[in-house]
Chains A and B, each alone.
Chain A
Amino acid sequence: MVDISLIKESWWGRTLCFLGYMPLGWLRLKFYKLVNWARSGSLWPVTFGLACCAVEMMHTAAARYDMDRVGIIFRASPRQSDVMIIAGTVTNKMAPAVRCVYEQIPNPKWVVSMGSCANGGGYYDYSYAVLRGVDRIMPVDIYVPGCPPSAEALLYGLIWLQRLIIEDETSI
């Protein structure tokens, strides 16, 4: 019987452990990449259009830019989606509903803030009834600037989100 502490403290023991662990780590990494590739290629957002940016979101889903060709299909239920696109102004009255929908999305989930109102209050930043940025109530992964951002800009942001998901090696 070989003492395990002898293996850990000796140079040859540590070398053997490293060589044995390396293929497992490589496999783990490749598996994460595969899963992240699958997730990024099939992002299903929950429909959450609030104001004018929702029209540009519709344009992105329409024929010219067509989000469906990158795997994005809108779902009416948060339980069946994994990304939330906040398109428009969030008022103080609407904020609890936004948070409630966000909490119903199962993990892993991402949030895209679309438009200057969702990014930081925007045009109505100095209003008494407006939430000054949706990142006050939930973590945001992608900010798409514009008032409204063009359909192409939103598509660019979603492709950036796909890249962010693929390159994530820390979680599964």
Chain B
Amino acid sequence: MRFDLCNFLHYVLNKNLILLSESQKPRDHLIYVYTTRRGMRRLLALIRLGNLFFGSFFSDITGFDCLPAGKDAGRSISLVYIVFLARWGIKLCMCTSLNNWSRAPIISEFFGGAIWPEREAAELLGINFANKLDVRRLMLDYTFEGVPLSRQFPAIGYEELEYDARLQWLIYHLLKSRDEAELFAF
């Protein structure tokens, strides 16, 4: 019997699978799955620990800001895990939604290579991970405040660094020419 990956995903995720339509069947070796946090963790554990997905590896964690639903709606993030299923040559993208209060599941317990992507996602996207193993900053400065990859954060930032001759050390101060730089009006 020919193995059908989509039906298998339906079976595994069952009630946790929100959307996997006919149009999203394996085409160009890419599958998008929208699911809950629990279903995603279950599927990723199965991919890592099960014999059926032998040779599969974790690729990346990414995410993007969703447009706010209402005026007072909090921030909504779509978190995407990308896994490559080597047996079928398929890239599986699993997407789930988070808000300001929900915490994403960690997968670094069974995917060791996910430690750095989790640190990166927590730092740049502002995603809260539950029981994160490594809480250190990866790329940004230790005193940096803000979420750089969110929609509200300006690309140029709010502060810049300069040397203070009186204090004889580097200090941050507010960006003076931010408006001019953003509008390219010099």
User: A residues touching B (Cβ–Cβ < 8 Å)?
Assistant: 91-93, 95-96, 99, 126-129, 131-132, 136-138
Contact = CB atoms under 8 A, between A and B. Distances in A.
Contacts, number: 46
B72 interface: no
Nearest to B172: A92
Contacts of B140: 93, 129
Nearest to B146: A128
Interface stretch (B3-11, B127-135, B160-168): B160-168
A153 B183 CA distance: 34
Contacts of A138: 163
A29 to B, nearest CB: 32
Contacts of A99: 163, 169-170
Contacts of B141: 91-93, 129
Contacts of B158: 128
B1 to A, nearest CB: 53
B161 A126 contact: no
Interface of B: 139-142, 144, 146, 148, 153-158, 160-163, 169-170, 181
Q: Determine chain B's interface SS by DSSP, over half rule.
A: loop
5 contacts: A126-B155, A127-B156, A127-B157, A128-B153, A136-B161
B170 A129 contact: no
A33 to B, nearest CB: 32
Contacts of A137: 161-163, 170
Contacts of B154: 128
A138 B163 CA distance: 7
Nearest to A91: B141
Contacts of B157: 127-129
Nearest to B142: A93
Contacts of B144: 92, 129
Kindly name the residue among A95, A128, A131 whose own CB sees the greatest number of chain B CB atoms within 10 A. A128
Contacts of B161: 92, 95, 131, 136-137
A136 B139 contact: no
A92 B148 CA distance: 14
A129 B169 CA distance: 18
Contacts of A129: 139-141, 144, 148, 157
A168 B111 CA distance: 61
